[in-house]
Structure 1
């Protein structure tokens, strides 16, 4: 298979590999989906970056060193004037092979592990509607969100000046990012229109009548609108906390600030009242409109898949894949529960595993996984992979709750012990998931890809009762 080549203005700009945060969920999903379509294993993926280690800081770590390491691998503020979002889009599409007569479908939108599993099962690419950029914050202060907003405004202004077709959502979250929140800024860069490389890819690489699934995160969060396509939010849904916990510091925020040498009493949110809006992984309205206009003549109207809870899409995709495996003559009685960045869609296909994905190791997320497993036909084997959150908390699932998910297995219940060794601290690389899953018995050959028609039918059947919208 040849790889697609699209001319893109890379010269003079930071390379996309540096622009897109290495351990961001969207970057991981792009990598594992592209490898699945190319039939490549993920066990040689890189170890966590310094930013990753700061995100999941360990109980015995040198927090100051981790914060400095995160800054070293981040972009310099002056680099933002040279960032080219169109070049990033060209780099994204270049990860996928050129196929003849074209892909039967494409999944595009918010980062969700089960969307990557669904794309791989259909033999389709997954394209992100946004990407995360991490920027150095000289003299930053983890306990000063107003200072983060001011510094972010300058960074966003430079990025937007070079890229008027994007919007910037800045997130300041010491709970999720640990000490790195005091040395770097996190800018979620969301395309407001289809970038040229996406447009070319969709028009050239989709076969006539292909299905376009637009997956959108419908969760809301208080947002400070700073104008000029720049907005700011404190905390994020994947922290497991409530927005008020970031206004009047709750126990998790207090703990995170103290670990990063911050002062909880100094924490003051911006004075401007926020309004409720889509959280950082949400889609820009103009992006959806542009997608519909672009692919209308090639693929017809895109199907919109919206979730208010990540578990709704996870359960719908797991049910769909299980039905596809049964229809292909597989036993479909082996389940793999992934978490965060620990997933490998390609290895799941080779081993005929039913994939269920938890966004984060939170009590509510694991409880939903437990309920889904309990209400499903019994699995003979259940393997559970846990991405440690890097912090203890009342909202983090205890190990016994993860064990309870595996206990529904009829024969083999396996919770990965490397992930539990220092839980809830530590960080595991994505390739750890590949290594664990590759040790399982493969069930070859892989069946023909799930048809897009079956995928959309089953998403409606399994997801609608859970609140998933497919229309």
Structure 2
């Protein structure tokens, strides 16, 4: 029997906080958005397994420690039966302050989505959540074995949650040694969860609009079974599908960095043409959301992006316009990365936020191109999140310094993030510590209207791979 508060289940169920992967982007984005809407920063958000005491330790020792730390927070196989997606939905909406909202942002995880939601004064809700489960005797270099271990776990998860699709991702380039100790599942709702529908019904003002963000990136996918699919590699790795071919020199570098064998990689045969990647929104989720909105007479708008840089750039442009219309300069920028963001401190200081999905060369180059094409900023602060591992796709510190160099008077690359980059660990609250030092630019502008936000996104999206409809 499910409880109605706190995201827990009576009996043998797991709490929502225990189910959702501790280091998942969606979890962090809900946390930072909820805090910003409550007028709080992210000083209490740490790192799921901070291992700063191992800075400078031999690589093999550090990898083993990271694997043990991740295994402690992953679900045991027998706990997968106790995952309840409805409980997760209740836990997510329960983090937001109890008041009426003028709208809501839903969909794919993206740091700009959190900033957009805060500018609108509305919650952000993910269309999926991530679960990690133990993989005893796993191997980074063996995606076939990962699929063999993950398939029955996915089937057990779906037996108690028939309205979800489970996307298993085996990506040594983005997960490193963790790809050999745990299996990663993206659990995507195929309909609007009851807790979401109840939250929207009770908390949205009459006629409040809904904004659905969809990540439209594609990747080779294997449909393993009904409701379960598998992909080797990920667009978030900064690599291309061809880089995960057994003969790829880049793949050998990735496997070597994770301490894995470099000559035994074999991927399951792809069953179809490239499908949407792991952060996509299920068609059933969108259809049920559309039906709910239609019944309530609420407008539903969609924003599709084939490149996360497009949404980051459009949202940064939107913030600059929003700040200037409120009489502020909009001339100070912060470039965030991964989990290093704090929307409340951004708003308090009147900053323009640009979010990099990760620390890859491709993602950082997107920030460089946007800064190069924008009106100059008087200051640029850069917060590069160290991924905790080596990868040939990562940007080096010189490229991060090049991003900071776009500041006319202030050019700041956070030294704590840079120290030991890319293998050290930096908690989310580091972004708060850095941004707290920024001077205030109060009062905060009044919340932006959804119609104005859509117009700004359309203006910016015409120059980028962003579709607003």
Moved more, 258-267 or 121-130: 258-267
Checking the alignment, whether the CA contact within 8 Å between 1:51 and 1:70 is kept in structure 2 is: no
What does 1:326-405 correspond to in 2, within 5 Å? 326-405=324-403
Secondary structure class of the residue paired with 2:95: coil
Equivalent residue number for residue 284 of structure 2 = 286
Cα RMSD, aligned residues only: 2.1
For structure 1, list consecutive stretches of 5 or more residues without a partner in the other structure: none
Equivalent residue number for residue 94 of structure 2 = 94
Query: Deviation of residue 49 (structure 1)?
Result: 2.3
Query: Deviation of residue 253 (structure 1)?
Result: 3.0
Cα distance change, pair 411–259 in 1 and its aligned pair in 2 (3 A): closer
- Tell me the matched-pair count: 464
Checking the alignment, whether the CA contact within 8 Å between 1:337 and 1:357 is kept in structure 2 is: yes
Checking the alignment, whether the CA contact within 8 Å between 2:25 and 2:338 is kept in structure 1 is: yes
Equivalent residue number for residue 172 of structure 2 = 174
Does the alignment pair 1:443 with 2:451? no
Equivalent residue number for residue 82 of structure 1 = 82
Checking the alignment, whether the CA contact within 8 Å between 2:150 and 2:183 is kept in structure 1 is: yes
After superposition, the C-alpha distances for 1:197-240 in whole angstroms (9 at most, x for unaligned) are 00101111111121211000000000000121000000100101
After superposition, the C-alpha distances for 1:136-158 in whole angstroms (9 at most, x for unaligned) are 01121222111100111010011
TM-score (norm 1): 0.94
Checking the alignment, whether the CA contact within 8 Å between 2:257 and 2:391 is kept in structure 1 is: no
Equivalent residue number for residue 17 of structure 1 = 17
Equivalent residue number for residue 426 of structure 1 = 424
Quick one: which of 163, 187, 191 aligns to 1:165?
Answer: 163
How far apart are the structure 2 equivalents of 1:416 and 1:46?
17
Checking the alignment, whether the CA contact within 8 Å between 1:210 and 1:298 is kept in structure 2 is: no
Secondary structure class of the residue paired with 1:346: helix
Equivalent residue number for residue 135 of structure 1 = 133
Does the alignment pair 1:36 with 2:36? yes
Query: Deviation of residue 10 (structure 1)?
Result: 4.8
How far apart are the structure 2 equivalents of 1:297 and 1:237?
36
What does 1:111-150 correspond to in 2, within 5 Å? 111-150=109-148
After superposition, the C-alpha distances for 1:246-294 in whole angstroms (9 at most, x for unaligned) are 1225344323433444212111111454531000000100100000001
Equivalent residue number for residue 412 of structure 1 = 410
After superposition, the C-alpha distances for 1:149-198 in whole angstroms (9 at most, x for unaligned) are 01110100110001000000000111211111111100000000011000
Query: Deviation of residue 394 (structure 1)?
Result: 4.0
Moved more, 374-383 or 316-325: 374-383
Secondary structure class of the residue paired with 1:306: strand
Checking the alignment, whether the CA contact within 8 Å between 1:48 and 1:428 is kept in structure 2 is: no
Query: Deviation of residue 381 (structure 1)?
Result: 1.1
Secondary structure class of the residue paired with 2:45: coil
For structure 2, list consecutive stretches of 5 or more residues without a partner in the other structure: none
Checking the alignment, whether the CA contact within 8 Å between 1:104 and 1:123 is kept in structure 2 is: yes
How far apart are the structure 2 equivalents of 1:259 and 1:381?
35
